[in-house]
Structure 1
């Protein structure tokens, strides 16, 4: 008799012989039960719902959140920049006194605002800024991503596709939100009642709603689209910034805007910050004068003579043959319609150049850099961070859906 009889099969290696329902099926059932319990948790439910959402609303939400965060962080710097850009636009055309600058640089302007208005002055216009950032970045980010996804398969030149997507997104967001930015600029350029007359604008608004109401009643619907042309010229800014940002981010991280590394648990913060800073500095340096033109046109009063109590229109404006000047606050002696100081891009450039010189086109540029770079970094990091969170939820939701099948 042979002593090498085969050993009996092990229960762990022969599931068909030894209680298959107890050994083999039970673990699978337990796993399914575990998955079912997991899929009913709040986070799992949220992940499943996020996975079902289209990318458009997600991009809009991430963009709006990024804009709000940026607005809160940089509002004081935006107020200072606006005061510097608007300085000189309220001076009476017949003013014979010495020309003096009330706002001088970042710290000097901040000191004047703090003395005259306190902390509230540094956050003047925050309401319309936040009100504007929500639709601006929501429209921009969703339109940019959708346009880029549409153009990429049809164009071999990715740089051109990104540029066209930037222009399309910028145009849509500008047309939708220009009225909000006009009100924001008006409020930010509004100075204290203690300021000298030559630096005081011809209006006073108590709140964002009050500004909308008074502008519509006294100046008409056209006032909300003041500065639209230079604002559209500002599309050159995003046409430089966002394609350059995507190019630099690809170089630094290997990912496009809004993309996250599925294998990484963290986001490439340094690469995003470096790409944002470099692209923002290049775009701002190349296109800054259009911001001064936009601010001058937005802060110019457009009161219609028929709606003014004594036919006053355009503080410091022009009237009559040869455009003889007159001090503000007086009506035209010959009954002629009082013409605005700034009319169109070329006329505005000519007036600023003649009255203040070429340096006026770069008023507040240093402050704008100090404001724009942190604003851009806050915006892009918030957007990229939220997109990473969305991607993680989306991946988890897809995994749960696959396990439940």
Structure 2
């Protein structure tokens, strides 16, 4: 191997893995995202409930079913791909600083092996903080994209008030609502950062448990050069699914509030501000209104989570090794 070759930094590996994971998972599960968004903004006061399957059948019965199922793909793809890339980058950087703090290092320099060797010093609270801070940065950066995505997913192309494209929607928001329009729902989205924080506070410790009590009981896939066992695909499915269900169930109400705050004519339809929306949901629909679309969301997020973390874990594991093999 060429010793002078500069290897990819851990933060860059995390960024590439996150970008790949966000792109692929969005392409796979976008239709379910359309169904979930429409369920969340639906004010169903009749005795006949509207199901996610009913909305799905309605979408595929349209003259252009593929376009209907992939309505709003552009902002969703840009938002998810960039969010995962930025998230894993900042999460890696913050975790490294926490490792330096816990190890008492004053140099601020940790190699890849140092990170692997001292990773067990991070606690669930550390992962919660790293994910929460990273999520806050992403929210303030990408909220305008989510406003456009929500409005496009919640309406059919060609209907009154529907955006024809992401650019046309951005122009309309700027002209009619000003800069504040792009940050509708930002407050509740910041509350929603607790979702990612809870998820990784469960996910990362479960990974450590797997490596400690399961991987070492069998033939380890640990590579001495990198100081880390490969997280198998089956383990990735179980661990990522468990952490997502826990986080999703605990924090789901914020998604309903965010969708209603970000959609068209939100103040007239759902109430003004977070308190107004919460009050109206409670009065008209009770506590169940805060969990509208939860079943569809679980069906949607599990495949999305599995695809995301399978891509993420495999890319972050193999990318440095492919880089090294290329230099031999």
TM score, norm. by length of structure 1: 0.68
User: Is residue 306 of structure 2 the alignment partner of residue 359 of structure 1?
Assistant: no
Shift in Å, 1:146: 0.9
CA–CA distance in structure 1, aligned partners of residues 47 and 178 of structure 2 = 32
Structure 2 counterpart of 1:271: 235
In terms of Rg, which structure is larger?
1
- Residue 377 of structure 1, CA deviation: 1.1
Q: Are the structure 2 counterparts of residues 131 and 273 from structure 1 closer, same or farther at C-alpha, using a change threshold of 3 Å?
A: same
In the TM superposition, what is the alpha-carbon distance from 1:395 to its structure 2 partner? Answer: 4.4
Q: Which runs of 5+ in 2 are unaligned?
A: 103-120, 214-220
Of structures 1 and 2, the one with the larger relative CO (CA 8 A, separation 6+) is 2
- What are the superposed Cα offsets for residues 18-63 of structure 1, whole Å, 9 maximum, x if unpaired? xxxxxxxxxxxxxxxxx8xxx7xxxxxxx975x5332222221211
CA distance in 1, matches of 2:32, 2:48: 17
Q: Residues 113 and 105 of structure 1: is their aligned pair in 2 closer, same or farther, counting only changes over 3 Å?
A: same
The structure carrying a bigger helix percent of its residues is 2
User: How many pairs align?
Assistant: 299
- Counterpart of 1:261 in structure 2 is 222
Q: Does 1:223 pair with 2:181?
A: yes
CA distance in 2, matches of 1:186, 1:285: 24
2:245 corresponds to: 281
Corresponding residue of 1:209: 167
Q: TM-score, normalised by structure 2?
A: 0.83
Contact 1:293/1:345 (<8 A) preserved:
yes
1:168 to 125, 133, 137: 133
Pair 254,120 (structure 1): closer, same or farther in 2 beyond 3 Å: farther
Q: CA deviation at 1:267?
A: 5.0
Return the match for 2:66 from 111, 119, 123: 119
SS at match of 2:61: helix
Name segments (4+ residues, structure 1) moved above 6 Å. Answer: 263-266
Per-residue CA deviations over 1:253-312 (Å, capped at 9, x if unaligned) read 349xxxx8326997511111110000000000100000000000000437xxxxxxxxxx
Counterparts in 2 of 1:232 and 1:192: CA distance versus 1, 3 Å: same
Show the counterpart of 2:151.
186
Kindly state the Cα deviation for residue 69 of structure 1 after the two structures are TM-superposed.
0.6
| In structure 2, distance between residues paired with 1:352 and 1:388 | 45
CA contact (8 A) 2:22 2:82 kept: no
